[in-house]
Amino acid sequence: MHLSRRATLVAAGSLATPALAQSGGFVTVGGGPPGGTAFPVGAAVAQAIGQAMPGVRAQMQQTGGSFENIQLVGRGRAEFGVSVADSLTIGFTGRDPQRFPRALTGLRVVTSLLPFHVHILMRADAGVRRIEDLRGKRITVGAAGGGTEGNARAIFAAAGFSFADLGRVEFLSGNETVDAIRDRRIDGMFLTTGIGASALRDLAGSVQVVAVPVPHALIARMSDTAYAPAEITAGTYPIEGLPVETAVIWFQLFCDERLPAATVTAALEGIFANLPQFRAAHPGLRDFDLATTTQGWSIPGHPAALAFLRARGVAVGA
């Protein structure tokens, strides 16, 4: 596979097919854009795999996020990827034929990693205090290829409007978003990410912004069970509007059903053998443990992941 110029690899080398993961080669984890949560979490997964499989060079590839990772895994161009749960559902069912011409029914969850919270953060002077006030505003909905765009479309639809009702829609990475809001090129952001993502901390420290709620009553109207009510608590960021109601979607590690059981098992063994190191990769991972591994699954689990978890007393389905 030819890597784009924006590809970032945690270890040097080319991509591998699943079979190479057992016999010395490369294991690639599709991550995300810099400034978001997927980037450091994907790198932490690759590091854990490398430690558990000394004969394999594990690497994280920088991507646009969930949708791009699903396409990479579905095409056999990456062994693992990270994604929000609802994007995995879309890929598994083929509900979005423009992104997925065929349903990727071989997708399998390995473990849930951390809850992703929907953040709608707007410049305080943009006059937005309710989600309906976004009409006519210029916002970013995350990097192209990421799951945030799908989250934004679903939540806006539940609120009774669409991207066509916005003033302008941009597709910016976390770091690009901070600059665009600071320079007044956009009014704010819709970003689904872990609490404490670096881009959010940078934004809160440089621009006066306000958090806009995603009301729990709106979430209750949504048909997708991947969305659950949550809250961004007071003191999380130095911004106006907290605490605020929002939605949470679980962020998960996934693969294809054809990935060898030994590779999936090694990934989980590497994560849990060095759990303090893994948790240190991002603040949102601090509560990651066996009890959270099956939160928010919306597609089947890989058989090796199911066996690993059952052996450790975790109740999982088929």
- pLDDT tens, position by position, 130-178: 999 999 999 999 988 789 999 999 999 999 999 999 999 999 988 899 9
What does the pLDDT average to over 110-132?
97
Q: Are residues 39 and 164 in the same domain?
A: no
Last residue of a domain, one of 204, 222, 249: 249
Q: Are residues 176 and 80 in the same domain?
A: no
Helices (H), the chain: 38-52, 66-74, 85-93, 148-159, 174-182, 198-204, 216-221, 261-273, 275-279, 303-310
Residue 2 lies in a domain: no
User: Are 28 and 64 part of one and the same domain?
Assistant: yes
59 and 148 together in one domain = no
Please indicate, yes or no, whether residues 105 and 150 belong to a single structural domain of this protein. Answer: no
Please give the pLDDT value at position 2: 31
* In-domain check, residue 242: yes
Where in the sequence is the domain holding 189, given as residue range(s)? Answer: 116-249
Q: What is the count of structural domains for the chain?
A: 2
Same domain assignment for residues 191 and 238:
yes
Q: What percent of the chain has pLDDT over 70?
A: 92
236 is a domain residue: yes
> Which tens digits make up the pLDDT trace of 253-288?
999 999 999 999 999 999 999 999 999 999 999 999
Spatial contact of 214 and 170, defined as CB atoms under 8 Å apart: no
Whether 234 is covered by a domain: the verdict is yes
pLDDT averaged over the chain? 90
- In whole angstroms, how far apart are CA 209 and each of 192, 237, 248? 17, 10, 21
Q: Are residues 207 and 97 in the same domain?
A: no
Given pLDDT bands bounded at 50, 70 and 90, which one contains residue 7? very low
Following DSSP, what letter does each residue of 234-270 receive, concatenated?
TTSSS-BT-SEEEEEEEEEEEEETTS-HHHHHHHHHH
Q: Are strands 168-170 and 138-140 parallel, antiparallel or unpaired?
A: parallel
pLDDT tens-digit readout, 17-54: 444 444 458 999 999 988 889 999 999 999 999 999 99
Residue 40 domain flag: yes
- Boundary (domain end) residue, out of 230, 249, 268: 249
Question: Domain containing 90 — which CATH number?
Answer: 3.40.190.10
Q: Are 58 and 29 in contact (CB under 8 A)?
A: yes
Domain shared by 238 and 283, yes or no: no
Whether 57 and 68 share a structural domain: yes
pLDDT of residue 24: 59
Quick check: is 95 in a domain?
A: yes
Q: Are residues 237 and 179 in the same domain?
A: yes
Which domain-ending residue is among 229, 249, 269? 249
Do 133 and 203 fall within a single domain? Answer: yes
